[in-house]
Structure 1
Amino acid sequence: MADAEEDYSSLPLTERATHKIWKVRKQAYEDITKDFEKSGSESDVCFKPWLNDPSVWKSIVADANVAAQQEGINALYAFLQFGGPNAGNRSRPYTISSLAEKGIVSTKAATKSRSIDVLLLYIELDTPSPIVDELVPFLSHKMPKVVAATTNVLYTIYKEFGAKTVNPKPVLQFLPKLFAHGDKNVRAEAVNLTVELYKWLKDGMKPMFFNDLKPVQQKELDEAFEKVKNETAKQMRLLRSQQVAAAESSAGHGDDSEAEPEGETDAFDLFEPVDVSSKIPKDFWEQINSTKWKDRKESLDVLYGILNVPRIKEEDFNELVRLLAKSMKDANITVVIVAANCVECLAKGLRRGFAKYRSAVFLPIAERLKEKKQTVTDALSAALDGVFDSTSLTDILEDTMELLKNKNPQVKLESLRFLIRSLRNTRIAPAKNEVKVISDNVTKLLADTLEATRTAAAEAMGTLMKIMGERAMNPFLDGLDDIRKSKIKEFFETAQVKAKDKPPAPSVAMSMATTAKQGVKKKVAAKNPSSQIQPSRAGAPNTNRPSVEETSSPSKRVSSVTKPLAPKQQPSRLSKKTPLPPAIASPTRAAAQIEENVPHNPPVASKFGLGSRGGLTARTLQAPHSHSKPVEGLKSIDLQSSNIERAELERLRLEKETWLTETVGYRVEKEKLLQELSEIRLQNVQLIEEHTRDVLSIKAKETQLLRLRSDIQTAEESVEKKQREIDRLKRELARFSRASSPSASDFADTIATEPYGGYPRERTTSASGISSTGEHSQRMSALSRPRNRSSLAGSYTIDDSQIGYPSREGIRSPISESGASKDKSQQHKIDGDVRIGDPTDPNENWKRAAQVTSQLKMRIEQMKARQHMRGVS
């Protein structure tokens, strides 16, 4: 047995690695690992057998013995670690599938961990795409443990290298299948993988798979996403190519260079472009122009369903954009909302491809911001944000500034809010002239009458200050009061922006001072000729020139760089003899001195004959030629320049006094206007209160009038009802009298139809009112009193005083006296006739009729009394 073992050790490693005895294989794997670790470079002899026949690694990784498999995977790891990218490229096609089926599902934790390390090392050596492409098919494996282990490996890959380095698109397509898997371990690993991808892709990844999940799974994922929403994803491990680039970058920038923070990965490129134009129905173009708003809305709803995709294929959408812009002016707000949603989807789906359509839809959308309904405002604001994402701040700045001058306060407010969102999301800091334009227009709105507009203006200034810095924004805040400044500073501290203004380059004066101290003038001239100053022959007068430049204003230093004229350096040299405060070092004065000193430079240079020095001076941008001037002309030049500087100083002082006076006048005028504005507001409030009281009083009077009209209508209906009852009672009385006694019937007919004073009795009764009715009632009651036959047989006369008639002068009636007397005589005659021939029973009937008549009279009197009281009120 010992001899056999010695024979095994004498075999070549390639034969021992494929031996049938597992112990021999295990020992061979260990020896291979040691050889790789002792190697000096990737081209050593120990790597050649395994590079020439890389298919051997497939059997090594999938060794049937667990212990031998562990050592075999360790040997592969050492091979990749010390063999480099060449070893990975050669062995990768034979080992990935074996590692997925045998390595990552091993029961031994060490083997499983080393298998994952091998896969990560494969990615580090080259690119991640081949590894991921070979692992993705194992997500559909029939064994659940293989699917779960592969999902876990993918989670580790994205956690280490990030979604920016590893393309997440192939994995995102498999997520619905993983969540629909029957094994709970697979679903748990799918959740971990999805959360890790969400750290990089955020909500942009949802359209690819989220709608295919169950509602319970969606809720679970939303809760998990909420926990990591604010986490910033960062790549933990770099590829070899990235490591080389990082090393070169750190060597070039030094230790002070800071790595840029990892940003959110854009998921736009993960989606396939969708051809939406072919999906638009043919009747869409007819319905969108229909006169019925429902047809227009339905057509836009169909269009929104087509355009609501993550990415749209670029085509000619001019006609479609024109129709959407026209829909922004629709009278129905629901049509406007759907049209705005369509513009948002089209802008997000095209990204930069939508920039050419911006001019057609931007202003129609912004002008519709006058709508006060929040749903409309939200839809329009989202559409504007989509348009901005497809363009830049420079593209929308001019139109936005015009909107800030709009007369409608709602348009101004929403335009300001759109500007704030644009400043937050822009990744390129605005230029200096754009900052000035924004500041000039926004600061005017700080004094707006609407509180919300003033607050939005302060927020816009604070956001702009966050981008540009406090120092750059100080000139635009000088004229503001402390309250507005503090408000802007509050928004400045809390603002969150994506763009940062680059710090200004070091000034030329500072670089010149540094080079003067170090004395390395030749090297500085080679690197930056514009910042080099040629020393004069005397030497002493020029030693202080850099210090004078340092005391100059920043504007002068900038102008000295942007305008490379040689004589421009002369005022700085001459200011050494006539020192002046830094305030007078303006570009205007420098330009004036250049114009006066230019004709003197050429002849002076020829007198001194500087030769090569003159050539060097001519090549530098700021080299002063004044050193070549004659000594006798220096005093006159200094005197002349001093007089010019003094005159300009006086002029600047006068201008400053004038500006101060104007500023004081403006402030006084502003205070007066503010006071007048407050008085007008107070008067407006009082007028509004008075108007409110008048409106309430008018409404109260109208209410009373309506009530009175209702009461009058009710009374008229009651009168009509009573009149009908009177007519009914009259008919009852007439019918009852005819049925009981013919004479009584004739008497009733005589009373009803006999003319009374030239008029029929019915009209007389209605004209005489209550008094006539009372007469008739008393007369009827007198007639109905019981009498015996002896009294009836004698001479019986009914007197007016006995019956109780009122005096006829007190009753306004058209009935004449003659008619009344005639009626009396006829009545006496009829009464006598009736009384003579009536039996006993008719008397009872007459008594009963009299009672009915008296009741009728009382009702009529009560009704007329109520009408009279209503007329008085």
Structure 2
Amino acid sequence: MSESEFENLPVEELLEHKLWKARQLGYSQLKEIAEKSISDELITQLVNNPQRLLKIVTDSNVAAQEMGISALTTILKQSRPETVSRTRDTVVPGLVEKGLTSSKASSRSEATEALLLYVELDSGKEVIELMLPSLSAKSPKQVTATVKAINDIYSAFGCPTMDPKLIINSIPKLFEHSDKNVRGEASGLSVTIRSYIGDSFDQTIFPKIKPIQQKDLKALFEEIKSGAKPSRMTYSQKSANLAENDEDVQMTEESVIESTGEAKAVFNAYDFEDPVDVLSQLPTDLSTRLRESVWKERVEVLEEISGFFKAPKIQDEDYSYFISLMVGCLRDVNLQVVTLACGILLDLAKGLKANFHKYSSTLVSPLLERTKERKKTVLGALIEVLDTCFKYSSFHDIVDPTVEYMVHISPHVKVESMQYLVRCLKETKVLPTNDEIERMMASAIKLLQDSQVTVRNAASEVIGTLMKLIGSEKSRKYLDRVDKRHVKKVQQICQSAVVKTGPTREGFTVVEQVTSINDKIPNLAQRGVGSNTSENENTTAAPSTSRSSGSSIPSKRAATSPLKENVANHKNTLTSKPLKASNVSNYGISAQQLQELELLKAEKFVWLEEKKVLLSDLEEVKSNNDSLLKNVVSLNGKLDDYHEKFTTMSMTLKSKDTQIFRLRSDLETCQIRYSQLQQKNKVLSGQLELSNDKNTAVESINKVPEDSNDINRRISILSIGSSTGEAKETEKIPVLRNNVSIYNFDDADDGWKRATAVTNDLKAKIQRMKARTRVLDPVDD
């Protein structure tokens, strides 16, 4: 199809034509329509169908795409914000992916302008969020183009308008990219953002990039000119300026510079960090482990959880229970546990910042109680946490517990409490109330009579600093109550003290507030509540009108007063006229005003009576407070005594437990020894019985020869031998006896062996004797 054939086609058909030249022509005609009327039906259809606009800006042909992006830019310039927001989510990703990476410079420029228009007319936050996914693209060209476009957006609108937190966490990843062009564009973006947020950028980014990259950035930052200014305004900023400046409609882009410059100071490195959920990381058995009797286990669990609180920003949750656990650790007898608890509380305060104020009043009392420790490292940790509690809270939150511990029984606690109070008085930007001043002064003046020099010096410093804070007029009545010996020192401290607020500044603040209130209520004097304004006006006008108008308003007597000429008349008038009528005639007060005056007097009388009652109640409350304070002091003393007794009893109990343990050990040893002895006794008893049995056997063996002699005698009686034979037999008997006596052993150990041998010998002899007997029997026959 030739060019002449599709020139006459409708625009809608040209936009969908398969030839790129036809589509290019359709985009050109669409641009002309948008310039003439943004409310055209075709443009309305395109806006209501963002996919068609996306197809236009992502045309496959480079020339047609250039014209399509230009047409989109024209439509955006002529549209209103509510119209632009319909197409943002669909069109912006296409512009970033296809428009910013186009091979034609004009297309890239038009795509960047379209993105700037989306930010100007809609919302910069949503546009940046739609661009962030392209920073993770695989193509370095895509990443480079996206970073450059983001840099253009921040340069045009500035960080007060564009939140730097949207992109600042992505910058370290860009510096880690392998492509040098990406790193170069990241450096340019860093320079732009740093020109608005200052050193906060260094604190956030430098710890996350390489030292060589830090060095390069520092060199670039030195070239930054102070006071970076945005070059464009958003639609909402323009509308706000037009509303505030109805008389001067023609605004310039420089009208937003002052407001954006002031917003510079609000940026902080803390704001750019993501909050960390710490509570979910704590062990579930934390409370149980913190109550372990072995101090090493308590130290171990505190060291374990301390790393969780090192996060630069901690998520704001309810830490009340955790704070109660840390208060218990502050009261621990082990100093290492106390030091670790202080470190955790300090990190928690830095992570929560202003959100930490709700826990300050809970922590001040146990922290001051523990300042009686003399070890410098522990005391330094406690003081640091105390100062942090005041930093993230107010003076009113810490004054009550501090005044309470100023009268503590321990002199060291008194001194540390007063030094802490002095530091807070010097740093506070809010004046204490009259009741707080009275309580602080009363306690400090009383402590001037303390026997400890350090306590008296600290009390003098409290009084002097507080006098500097409240001013000489209010402090005069307190100075009169100070002993003359200490007045000079207190005055010197008052003169040298440096505070951040004072009565003069507070007075200016009050005057400004009253002035602003009077400006807001201009008709306050017309309500009839009082007559001060009208009286002042009459008094001012009196010198000029009294002579000419014959007014009855009295005025100062001039040098030529005619009063002396009418002295008698004045006297007669004074006595002849009623007093009330005279007042009315002389001062010009109407009956209604007089009635109002009487009502005001009655109300004043009622107020005075109420004031007396309130003052008496106040005195009663003060006396009750004094008695309660005395009771508190006495109770604190008793509590300390109980603590000491408890400590002594605990030590005694531990020593008794040790003794019981040792006695139990000795008892077990004795029982073991006793059982051993019993076993040995049994063995010896067995051996003794065995030896007795052996002795019995030996005795039985010793009786055997006698039996043998009986046999021999019977044999000799029966035998019919010759006398010689008888003599031989009789001679053998003592020999046998002698032989038997040889086997009579006394040794119990060899008894059995010897008995066996003797038995065998006896058996042998008996056998021989029986044999002889059998031999002799035939001879007798």
Q: TM-score, length-normalised on structure 1?
A: 0.48
Aligned ranges for residues 621-636 of structure 1 at < 5 Å?
Answer: none
1:240 aligns with 2:235: yes
The answer to whether the 8 A contact 1:321-1:357 is kept is yes
| Structure 2 equivalent of residue 314 of structure 1 | 317
**CA distance in 1: counterparts of 2:200 and 2:288, whole angstroms:** 32
The answer to whether the 8 A contact 2:281-2:308 is kept is no
Deviation at 1:276, TM superposition (A): 1.8
**CA distance in 1: counterparts of 2:59 and 2:496, whole angstroms:** 72
| Structure 1 equivalent of residue 114 of structure 2 | 118
**CA 1:625 to 1:50, structure 2 compared with 1: closer, same or farther past 3 Å?**
farther
**CA distance in 1: counterparts of 2:230 and 2:368, whole angstroms:** 41
Flag structure 1 segments of 5+ consecutive residues without an equivalent.
Answer: 424-428, 466-471, 516-522, 548-572, 580-599, 628-873
**CA distance in 1: counterparts of 2:339 and 2:106, whole angstroms:** 60
Letter in 1 for 2:140: P
CA deviations on 1:141-184 (whole Å, 9 max, x unpaired) are 11012112223333444455566655666645545543332112
The answer to whether the 8 A contact 1:314-1:350 is kept is no
Aligned ranges for residues 288-687 of structure 1 at < 5 Å?
Answer: 289-292=292-295, 294-309=296-311, 310-312=313-315, 314-315=317-318, 317-318=320-321, 320-330=322-332, 333-349=335-351, 354-368=356-370, 376=378, 379-388=381-390, 391-400=393-402, 408=412, 409=415, 412-421=418-427, 423=429, 429-430=430-431, 433=434, 475=473, 501=509, 504-506=512-514, 524=523, 543=541, 614=592
Deviation at 1:136, TM superposition (A): 1.5
The answer to whether the 8 A contact 1:348-1:390 is kept is no
**CA distance in 1: counterparts of 2:328 and 2:192, whole angstroms:** 44
**CA distance in 2: counterparts of 1:374 and 1:510, whole angstroms:** 55
Letter in 1 for 2:34: F
The answer to whether the 8 A contact 1:327-1:339 is kept is yes
**CA distance in 1: counterparts of 2:139 and 2:240, whole angstroms:** 41
**CA distance in 2: counterparts of 1:506 and 1:546, whole angstroms:** 31
**CA 1:325 to 1:33, structure 2 compared with 1: closer, same or farther past 3 Å?**
same
Letter in 1 for 2:10: P
Deviation at 1:58, TM superposition (A): 2.0
1:143 aligns with 2:146: no
**RMSD over aligned Cα atoms:** 6.2
CA deviations on 1:443-493 (whole Å, 9 max, x unpaired) are 999x9999x98999899889x98xxxxxx967569999998788568x769
- Any idea what SS the aligned residue of 1:505 has? helix
CA deviations on 1:845-865 (whole Å, 9 max, x unpaired) are xxxxxxxxxxxxxxxxxxxxx
Alignment counterpart, residue 282 of structure 2, candidates 276, 279, 282 = 279
**CA 1:349 to 1:6, structure 2 compared with 1: closer, same or farther past 3 Å?**
same
Alignment counterpart, residue 83 of structure 1, candidates 59, 79, 86 = 79
**CA distance in 1: counterparts of 2:526 and 2:193, whole angstroms:** 47
Deviation at 1:62, TM superposition (A): 2.6
Deviation at 1:304, TM superposition (A): 1.0
The answer to whether the 8 A contact 1:88-1:122 is kept is yes
1:131 aligns with 2:133: no
1:59 aligns with 2:55: yes
1:100 aligns with 2:102: no
| Structure 1 equivalent of residue 10 of structure 2 | 12
**CA distance in 2: counterparts of 1:85 and 1:372, whole angstroms:** 67
Deviation at 1:392, TM superposition (A): 3.1
**CA 1:146 to 1:273, structure 2 compared with 1: closer, same or farther past 3 Å?**
same
- Any idea what SS the aligned residue of 1:55 has? helix
CA deviations on 1:355-388 (whole Å, 9 max, x unpaired) are 4533331123245556687755664454335434
CA deviations on 1:547-566 (whole Å, 9 max, x unpaired) are 9xxxxxxxxxxxxxxxxxxx
- Any idea what SS the aligned residue of 1:182 has? coil
**CA distance in 1: counterparts of 2:300 and 2:158, whole angstroms:** 43
Flag structure 2 segments of 5+ consecutive residues without an equivalent.
Answer: 480-487, 546-551, 559-578, 601-781
- Any idea what SS the aligned residue of 1:504 has? helix
**CA distance in 2: counterparts of 1:133 and 1:187, whole angstroms:** 20
Letter in 2 for 1:286: R
Deviation at 1:82, TM superposition (A): 1.3
CA deviations on 1:318-377 (whole Å, 9 max, x unpaired) are 3x3233223334565543332112112334455666545333311232455566877556
Deviation at 1:268, TM superposition (A): 5.8
Letter in 1 for 2:126: P
**CA 1:492 to 1:73, structure 2 compared with 1: closer, same or farther past 3 Å?**
same
**CA distance in 1: counterparts of 2:222 and 2:380, whole angstroms:** 27
- Any idea what SS the aligned residue of 2:266 has? coil
Letter in 2 for 1:137: P
The answer to whether the 8 A contact 1:347-1:354 is kept is yes
Deviation at 1:16, TM superposition (A): 3.9
Aligned ranges for residues 832-843 of structure 1 at < 5 Å?
Answer: none
**CA distance in 1: counterparts of 2:225 and 2:285, whole angstroms:** 46
Aligned ranges for residues 719-758 of structure 1 at < 5 Å?
Answer: none
- Any idea what SS the aligned residue of 2:96 has? helix
**CA 1:107 to 1:397, structure 2 compared with 1: closer, same or farther past 3 Å?**
farther
**CA 1:604 to 1:118, structure 2 compared with 1: closer, same or farther past 3 Å?**
farther
**CA distance in 2: counterparts of 1:170 and 1:342, whole angstroms:** 30
Deviation at 1:59, TM superposition (A): 3.2
**CA distance in 2: counterparts of 1:232 and 1:316, whole angstroms:** 41
Letter in 1 for 2:513: A
**CA distance in 2: counterparts of 1:546 and 1:435, whole angstroms:** 51
- Any idea what SS the aligned residue of 1:335 has? helix
| Structure 1 equivalent of residue 68 of structure 2 | 72
CA deviations on 1:19-60 (whole Å, 9 max, x unpaired) are 555555555545544443444xx5455743432443332233
**CA distance in 1: counterparts of 2:517 and 2:584, whole angstroms:** 26
| Structure 2 equivalent of residue 837 of structure 1 | none
Deviation at 1:113, TM superposition (A): 3.6
Number of aligned residue pairs: 539
**CA distance in 2: counterparts of 1:233 and 1:413, whole angstroms:** 44
**CA distance in 2: counterparts of 1:235 and 1:160, whole angstroms:** 5
The answer to whether the 8 A contact 2:27-2:68 is kept is yes
**CA distance in 1: counterparts of 2:543 and 2:278, whole angstroms:** 68
**CA 1:510 to 1:352, structure 2 compared with 1: closer, same or farther past 3 Å?**
closer
**CA distance in 2: counterparts of 1:268 and 1:230, whole angstroms:** 24
**CA 1:363 to 1:13, structure 2 compared with 1: closer, same or farther past 3 Å?**
same
Deviation at 1:302, TM superposition (A): 1.1
Letter in 2 for 1:524: N
CA deviations on 1:45-94 (whole Å, 9 max, x unpaired) are 57434324433322332344545544433322221121111331232233
Moved more, 79-88 or 376-385: 376-385
- Any idea what SS the aligned residue of 1:271 has? coil
CA deviations on 1:745-780 (whole Å, 9 max, x unpaired) are xxxxxxxxxxxxxxxxxxxxxxxxxxxxxxxxxxxx
Letter in 2 for 1:301: E
Counting aligned pairs with the same residue, the percent is 26
| Structure 1 equivalent of residue 772 of structure 2 | none
**CA 1:436 to 1:87, structure 2 compared with 1: closer, same or farther past 3 Å?**
same
Deviation at 1:393, TM superposition (A): 3.5
- Any idea what SS the aligned residue of 1:142 has? coil
**CA 1:95 to 1:388, structure 2 compared with 1: closer, same or farther past 3 Å?**
same
| Structure 1 equivalent of residue 34 of structure 2 | 36
The answer to whether the 8 A contact 2:195-2:224 is kept is yes
- Any idea what SS the aligned residue of 1:274 has? coil
CA deviations on 1:665-708 (whole Å, 9 max, x unpaired) are xxxxxxxxxxxxxxxxxxxxxxxxxxxxxxxxxxxxxxxxxxxx
Letter in 2 for 1:271: D
- Any idea what SS the aligned residue of 2:149 has? helix
